[in-house]
Amino acid sequence: MALALFDLDNTLLADDSDHLWGEFLVTQKIVDGPHYEAQNNRFFQDYRQGTLDIQAYLAFQLGILAQHERATLYRWRETFVTEKIVPIIAPQAGAVLQWHRNRGDTLVIITATNRFVTGPIAQLLGVPHLLATEVEEQDGRLTGRPCGIPCFREGKVQRLTQWMQETHTNLTESWFYSDSHNDLPLLEQVAHPVAVDPDDTLRQVAQARGWEIISLRQPTLPARVPVR
């Protein structure tokens, strides 16, 4: 049974859920609009350029979770998923996920975006395993601080290694689908790296190394789901 690993943002989704959550908070007037939006956009550009300070970003992005009761946060999140996430599920995401289910593979979403945002998205996509940046909890409340290793860049490899030890799985014949050059540390570890609607840097690397390059945003998949 092989692992089928999937990045989430701009891979299974045709946009970035982390950035969209920040925009949602602004439009709902939950945060200080102009300042928060500027910071959210700056961090997003840093991510794209490969210069993101993950700890600074998490301090910014998770802080709002400590300021409100869980019931309120969950209500906002439900609206967010319905209005902002459902419309951006990549058209062929379901097909590639089902292809791996039919093979008997173990499906895992592995994402830098925090579990509060991504938990219901993984459920929506029917993916049973989620490795995400964890949010600290104390006395039933979210503290607004990350917990453990952020699931970002080399941290994805570390988190996956820990999970594989716990689940007695390995990377033999494994797959990883991602759009981002930030995921090169993990793409280089798997048997079948797949660049999905990749950014320019990842596209260049994939072409040079002969990796699969596909789009999940087209009305139909290529003649076949990538297989080696």
Using one digit for the tens of pLDDT, what is the confidence trace for 183-196?
Answer: 999 999 999 999 99
54, 150 in Cβ contact below 8 A? yes
Question: At 114, is the pLDDT very low, low, confident or very high (cuts 50, 70, 90)?
Answer: very high
Give the whole-angstrom CA distance, residue 3 versus residue 104: 9
**What percent of the chain is predicted at pLDDT more than 90?**
93
Q: What is the mean pLDDT of residues 155-159?
A: 98
Same structural domain for residues 73 and 42?
yes
Same structural domain for residues 36 and 149?
no
Same structural domain for residues 62 and 100?
no
Question: At 160, is the pLDDT very low, low, confident or very high (cuts 50, 70, 90)?
Answer: very high
Same structural domain for residues 81 and 60?
yes
Q: 204-220: per-residue pLDDT in tens?
A: 999 999 999 999 998 77
Helix (H, G, I), strand (E, B) or coil at 191: coil
Same structural domain for residues 7 and 105?
yes
- Which residues are known to be catalytic? 7, 9
For the chain, give the mean pLDDT.
Answer: 95
**What CATH number is given to the structural domain containing 175?**
3.40.50.1000
What pLDDT shows up at residue 228?
43
Closest CA to 80 of 13, 29, 144, 20: 20
What pLDDT shows up at residue 1?
80
Amino acid letter, 92:
Q
Q: Point out the least confidently predicted range of 67-71, 140-144, 212-216, 223-227.
A: 223-227
What pLDDT shows up at residue 225?
53
Is residue 222 a part of any domain in this protein?
no
Q: 28-43: per-residue pLDDT in tens?
A: 999 988 999 999 999 9
- For 42, the token pair is 């700056």
Is residue 96 a part of any domain in this protein?
yes
Same structural domain for residues 107 and 208?
yes
Give the whole-angstrom CA distance, residue 218 versus residue 228: 22
Q: Which of 87, 109, 128 is the last residue of a domain?
A: 87
State how many domains the chain has: 2
What pLDDT shows up at residue 219?
78
* Neighbour tally for 39: CB within 10 Å: 17
What pLDDT shows up at residue 63?
94
Query: What's the pTM value of the predicted model, to 2 decimals?
Result: 0.94
Same structural domain for residues 66 and 80?
yes
Give the whole-angstrom CA distance, residue 13 versus residue 118: 11
What pLDDT shows up at residue 167?
97
Q: What is the mean pLDDT of residues 42-53?
A: 94
Give the whole-angstrom CA distance, residue 220 versus residue 33: 38
Q: What strands, in cross-sheet order, belong to the sheet with 192-196? A: 141-147, 129-138, 106-114, 3-6, 175-178, 192-196, 212-214
Helix (H, G, I), strand (E, B) or coil at 168: coil
What pLDDT shows up at residue 222?
58
Which residue range forms the structural domain that includes residue 132? 3-14+90-214
Q: What is the mean pLDDT of residues 142-146?
A: 95
Same structural domain for residues 102 and 186?
yes
Where are the alpha helices (H) located in 12-150, listed in sequence order?
Answer: 17-27, 33-49, 54-62, 70-80, 93-103, 115-125
Same structural domain for residues 157 and 69?
no
Residue 95 has pLDDT above 90, yes or no: yes
Counting DSSP H helices and E strands in the chain, the numbers are: 9, 7
Residue 227 has pLDDT above 70, yes or no: no
